[in-house]
Amino acid sequence: MEQNKTKFVIPLPPTGSTLNCKGWHQEAALRCLLNNLHPEVAEDRDNLIVYGGKGKAARDLKSLEILISTLKRLGNEETLLVQSGKPVAVFPSQKTSPRVLIANSNLVGNWSNWDHFHELEKKGLMMYGQMTAGSWIYIGTQGIIQGTYETFMSAAKIHFNSTLKGRIVLSAGLGGMGGAQPLSVKIAEGVFVGCDVDEERIKKRLKSKYLDHLASSFEEAWSMALKFKEDKVATSVGVVGNAADFFEYVLKQKVLPDLVTDQTSAHDPLDGYVPKNLSLAAAKEMRSQDPKKYMELAYQTMGDHVQSMLEFQKRGCFVFDYGNNLRAGAMKAGVEKAFAFPGFVPAYIRPLFCEGSGPFRWVALSGDPKDIEVSENALCELFPENKKLKTWIAAAKKHIQFQGLPSRICWLNYFERAAAGELFNRLVREKKISAPMVIGRDHLDCGSVASPYRETESMLDGSDAVADWPLLNAMINVAGGASWISLHNGGGVGIGYSQHSGMVILCDGSLEMDQRLALVLNSDSGMGIVRHADAGYDLAAQSLSRTKNFSMPCMPKEN
């Protein structure tokens, strides 16, 4: 008689300073992989879904089990290859080579669409890696919060004299990414009001204090928002409901919102977006029983959703797309003017990209929040003139609860990232931090993504869809010696609509990592300057003129 095999249980990430692997690069990958699946972090842990519809950390439980065991025995001169969440090979490599190389959801151009992806997914041949889900550096909703804050503050600067005080921001989607919106608006002194079809997601944001209030109806939600606006109280309100329905309701009111956007999972019309007039249970059933009909209804709802946003714009509200491919979905439903309102990058963020600025995140592998506090304080001392950084760190300490391993995110530019890496590595070496840390970033960064409906929308030279840049970004990070590197298709906006790369590098206190950190953090963010200088942005050319670590052969040299 066969013995019953013990069912694999997803473990929590190890903490402390004791190794479970043969080296800290492998240990860091293991801890960050499991942190993506921490109960406080993952949206659907049992199905390995981290965030963003069905962005997964591993293809299936068996693959996860093998990933864990392989990382534990992986040598210091070996590299593990991961193909769409499945470990496929371990090859000999150099000590300074990445310990893990990951490729997720990549399809040859002609086949790069949801239909073909779903066929492969059903056969168990592929998974959707989103951005930081399949690259093992998601840090919970905090991971997008400062980028969201930067966007709203930029909008405030352009439209409202640099503050959202007394302004209402209307949005929808309160999942892993959209859940950053309420707190970001609050920190920017505004009033947030938004909906989600899933009450459990809203309750999760209430528990983590990313959201302040849950209204019982559309009427109550809007009434609360108007009262907070009148009193100039910075806060946030959530309500259960479909985005298209809620936006239509708000359009009928006498007072309209000041800013309108959206962060539903419209990038995934099957598993992310819910058509109106369907309960969650009915939506789940239709997805499996009649996916074609489901997607047809989803696109129709996206069309209604965007029509409302266009009407808000017509009536004087400032409206922008937050990079979830909602406008493209509405186009499929016949909304010809869906792109009449801009995406958030060309509207508010591109000047930051031209300076090599973007989301810089770090994780305390020890699990000790004190390590983050020490690093935060040291970072503020390192850049005493960066008032925006100090303001952000103070706000983060006050408002943001850690999810899983303690971590922090801030936006740093090309001229700051390598210095921050050197600082953190020194703190580990001097034992002011109790165990190694890792530095990573979102794939939504200055030089790591090609996404024509998001990060590279409306490029000055028309190079929106040129995917060479994220490929070059990944390769230069391999050359520099990052700890693990990922290359994905479709994150943020859906299969076929983006190509992007991720990078994570260890701070273990060694002199070797001083050099590797300098190489990787300079070239990684330097790609943002190169990308935008090549496209003709004067601000990027100005940034290039200040650099000392790289050059662009095609750019004219100053006398």
Kindly write down the DSSP assignment for every residue of 472-508, as one continuous string: HHHHHHHHHT-SEEEEEESTTT-TTS-EEEEEEEEE-
- N- to C-terminal Cα separation, the chain: 83
Residue 415 in contact with residue 545, Cβ under 8 Å? no
Place of tokens 């609360």: 224
Cβ neighbours for 137, distance < 8 A, ≥ 6 positions apart: 32, 36, 361, 363, 438, 440, 441, 502, 504
CA 556 to chain centre: 35
Please tell me the number of Cα atoms within 13 Å of 502 on its side-chain side: 28
Tokens coding 44:
């659907």
* DSSP three-state, residue 162: coil
Residue 333 in contact with residue 521, Cβ under 8 Å? no
Residue 358 has phi, psi (to 5 degrees) of 180, -175
Residue 208 and residue 189: Cα distance in Å, rounded? 19
- Catalytic residue, chosen from 354, 410, 446, 507, is 410
CA dihedral for 335, 338, 340, 341, sign (positive or negative): positive
SS3 content of the chain, % helix, strand, coil (to 5): 45, 15, 40
Place of tokens 């259960």: 240
The enclosing H or E element of 369 equals helix 369-382
Residue 516 and residue 506: Cα distance in Å, rounded? 9
Please tell me the number of Cα atoms within 13 Å of 542 on its side-chain side: 8
Q: For this structure, is 410 an active site residue? A: yes
Kindly write down the DSSP assignment for every residue of 512-556, as one continuous string: HHHHHHHHHHHHHHHHHHHHHHHTT-HHHHHHHHH-SS---TTSP
Active site residues: 410
